[in-house]
């Protein structure tokens, strides 16, 4: 009897350890799934997701790539927003590539084609700029996908918007690290037989860190935050990007998004209220 009792205890102990291992595996799988679904550990989302984008929402569809994270709107044919980290490690000098449809979209969704913009009077405007991701072929291909594009007026795209993009890279070459989020707001029509919406305005938020690799705790009330809101129209090519500076608060009010959400609420409020 005693031997049987000891054997039973050994079996129970073995089953207990098997149960513990299974629970640990299950929790690990859940963590991996949550990361895949939310992108929470992507370096491009250090300051948080502006919206509740997930892989289950067609109007706020999360696309996580090594080069950036963006929220895509199937019904509008453009991204809601894109976020990316920028430091010197991302910069190169590869030539531009041809635009391509994004085959990573769910089956049955319309894949915007490069020729949908042909004769539309709008540029294929990058969200994540080509020159921000031109060190490797893989990086370049990622930013030339049509999900990273929205209809942008030529005077905006080739004028103040381009000058702001160049200024950001100047900061990076001086040793800074940037966290950038951009997107469109409002509606000024559509192209491609209504498949692609034209935003009325385009906005961008840039948080400037002193050097690469600094933790989120290094952000203070003195950390530079650049926020701009530009009209997506002709006639502004010679305007300075500085003339469109605004506050993060104003962009939040316009879009309904929540920026800098991983910061302490008090610090977040200070940074979002100022016009840098």
User: Which amino acids are annotated catalytic?
Assistant: 126
Start-to-end C-alpha separation, the chain: 81
Contacts of 247 (CB under 8 A, 6+ apart): 227, 272, 273, 274, 275
Please say whether the beta carbons of 221 and 270 come within 8 A.
yes
The two structure tokens encoding residue 231: 């009209």
The two structure tokens encoding residue 129: 């700029």
Q: Is 20 left (phi over 0), alpha (psi -120 to 50) or beta?
A: alpha
- Helix 248-255 to helix 265-273 angle (10° resolution) is 100
């Amino acid at each position: 009897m005693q031997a049987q009792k000891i054997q039973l205890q050994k079996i129970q102990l073995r089953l207990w350890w098997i149960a513990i291992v299974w629970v640990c595996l299950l929790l690990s799988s859940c963590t991996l799934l949550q990361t895949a679904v939310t992108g929470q550990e992507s370096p491009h989302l250090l300051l948080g997701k502006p919206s509740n984008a997930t892989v289950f929402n067609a109007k706020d569809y999360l696309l996580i790539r090594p080069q950036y994270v963006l929220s895509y709107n199937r019904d509008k044919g453009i991204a809601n927003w894109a976020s990316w980290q920028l430091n010197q490690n991302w910069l190169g000098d590869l030539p531009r590539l041809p635009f391509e449809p994004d085959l990573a979209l769910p089956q049955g969704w319309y894949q915007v084609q490069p020729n949908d913009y042909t004769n539309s009077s709008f540029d294929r405007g990058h969200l994540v700029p080509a020159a921000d991701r031109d060190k490797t072929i893989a990086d370049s291909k990622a930013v030339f996908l049509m999900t990273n594009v929205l209809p942008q007026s030529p005077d905006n795209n080739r004028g103040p918007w381009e000058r702001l993009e160049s200024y950001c890279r100047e900061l990076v070459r001086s040793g800074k690290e940037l966290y950038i989020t951009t997107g469109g707001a409002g509606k000024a029509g559509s192209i491609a037989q209504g498949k692609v919406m034209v935003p009325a305005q385009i906005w961008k938020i840039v948080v400037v860190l002193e050097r690469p690799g600094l933790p989120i705790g290094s952000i203070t009330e003195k950390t530079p935050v650049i926020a701009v809101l530009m009209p997506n129209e002709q006639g502004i090519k010679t305007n300075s990007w500085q003339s469109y500076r605004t506050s993060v608060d104003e962009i939040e009010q316009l879009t309904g998004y929540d920026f800098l959400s991983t910061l302490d609420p008090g610090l977040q409020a200070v940074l979002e209220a100022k016009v840098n």
